[in-house]
Every structure is written in structure tokens, then in C-alpha cells.
Structure 1
Amino acid sequence: MKVTKQQVIDAVSQSSVFKFVDDPISSRTFTVEWKGKRFFISFNDEKVLADKTEDDELVERFGATDFSISSLLQPKFEDKSEQMIFNKYIIANKVNVDLEIPALVLYREFVDVYEVSVKHKIFFTQPVGMKANASKYIEGAVSSMLICVMLAMRKLSRELKEFKEDPEPFIKNARTEGMSEYEE
């Protein structure tokens, strides 16, 4: 079942652990504060399939996303070379290979930041028999997604620290991370 922007706004408004930083109605993305940290909630209305679908669309519909939660990290590096830009992509890739949670780390070169995001999928919320109290399930899903973002940010921070301490061995190991002995 699709979760609408209004349902998320209602669930966040009713919760005592979330606080809106900006107006949630005015745009596709708004900022929420949780445990002293700020996160972006973005809605992807055009990407969600309609409720009535054909059988061949069920797999796509199951993977469709209606909103995502993300956070940004902009580490400071003295080196501005093209090699450093390439290394930033390698760092993001290494974190993604190591993550065992449904989060994704992207390096956004045009603004020089790392974006960590978790996309909401229909299997996160609203068991069929629990439609009456959707707010609690949405609040639970948002909290779970925020925890995933925080864990991924923590992993990214550790990897960046390790890279800064000794870049060459880090990059060498990161390039082969997750490969089998036959691929190296």
C-alpha cells in the first residue's frame, strides 16, 4: 500500500520524537530533526505505481518507492586533484559493499558531498490488517529508516577517517573489497 506525503506528515506531527525544521507542505522535500540530527524526507510521487496494476507489474510495484530519507556529509580534504575525486567514489563504493543494511551511499561530485539514503518500500509499513492505525506503523518505518541512515553515516565516517590516516593501503584494499580470489 502506498504511503502518501500527508500520511508521513501526520505520523511525524503526532510523534513526540520528531520535529519539523521547515514547512513540510510547501515542497517535495522537507527536513526533520530526530535526536538532535537533521534528515531530509523526499517524496517520489511520480515513481510510485498506481494501486491497480497488471500481474507483470507486481515485481516492479513491490520495489517501487514512495519516499526516502537521507542525510549529507561533507568531509574536508586538502587535496582537490582528480585522483582525490576518484578516491571519493571508491570510498562510497567500499561503504556500499560493506553495508548490511538497506542504505545507499553516493558521492555527489557537483556539490562535493556524500549522500546517505534509505528508500521506503511497501514492505516496511502497514500490514494489511492494520490500516486503521497507519500513523504508528509509518512512525516505526521512519524511525527504522533513520537508524539505517545513522548507521551508514557512522560507517562512512569511520572509512573516511581510515582513508585520511593512510590513503594508499586503504584505496588498494577498497578496490578489491568484496571480490573473490578469482576476480583479483
Structure 2
Amino acid sequence: MSEIGRERVLRAALELFGRDGVAGTTLSALRTASGVSVGSFYHHFAGKEQVAEALFVECIALYQDAFLAELKAYESARGAVSGVVAFHVRWCKEHPDRARFMFTERPAASEALAERNKAFYREVRSWWRVQVRHGALIGVDGVTAFVLWLGPAQELCRMWLNGQSPEPDGRQVELLSEAAWRSVGGAHGD
């Protein structure tokens, strides 16, 4: 299967998994929606679980690369903390199918996902440690930092994507950005 065929499977998977979930999507439906033959499908994927894994890694990669670009766009810790909260909501609005998939599906841990996450978190932790040394951010472990920083924005987006609340608006983003800064800003914050 060419890379075009692989991409067709992943695009069909994003639509079908978003609508029916991985468990509710049949391999036959996935093949039909993508327009690839059985042989072409199995050339790259052993089954729909591997498609879900590849799609999840692709979504995470897009999000993480954009996250890091946003993080590096600010000179101050305060600007970065607030900017990344706004980025998170904006990314979810711009990529609702990908965000919904990432919030609802958790494929089995894979080497590709582990490597991607390891590199991403290493870079964010490195940035965080520099900010802590300068007194701009509080010194907490990585999990606590992410929960304080992005937990409320992630929950707001999850609720919106699941149809439990209206689409997030600018005022909500402002409030969550300020709350994130109050939660993680250090004694000498910008």
C-alpha cells in the first residue's frame, strides 16, 4: 500500500472512530470507507487496533509539535503559561475530530508513542526547570504541573467535544489562562 493508501486508512479511521469508537468500527467498514483492498490494508496494519495506534500517535505528534512551538514563542513564563492554555483550546477547536479521538480513545502503549512522549516531556520539563530556577514557576513534578496548567482547559474542551457544554469562548480562555498562571506562577513570576 502506498503512503497515499495508508493516509486514506487513517483519514477514514479518524471519521469512523470519532463517530463509532474503535470498538464499534468494523474492519470491513474501515476498509470500505478508505477504499483500500484487503491486501493493501494488511500491508501496513495488522488490524484496526494498529490503525488506532498509528492515528493516536499522529494526533499526539501534531499536538505536541504545535505545543512546543507555542511554548517557545514567548519570552516570559507568564506569557507561555497563558499562551499555551489559549493554544490548547484553539487547537481543539481547529482539530475537533482529532481532539475528540485523543480524549476518548487510549490505544495500548506503543514504542512509537512512548518515544514521542519521552522527547516531548523532556523538552517541556527542561523549559519548566529553567523557569523554576529563575523563580518564575513553582517547583512541582511534571504531572502536577500539567494538571495545574492545562487540566481545566482540557476538561472544558472535553466537555464541549462531548456535547456537554457550548464551544469555549474567549472569556473562558482568559479566565483559565489567568487561573493557570495563579496556580503555577512562582514568587518572582513575570
The reply to whether TM is greater than 0.5 is no
Higher helix share: 2
Shorter-chain TM range is under 0.3
TM-score of the two chains, using structure 1 as the length reference: 0.24
TM-score, length-scaled by structure 2: 0.24
* Structure with the higher strand share, 1 or 2: 1
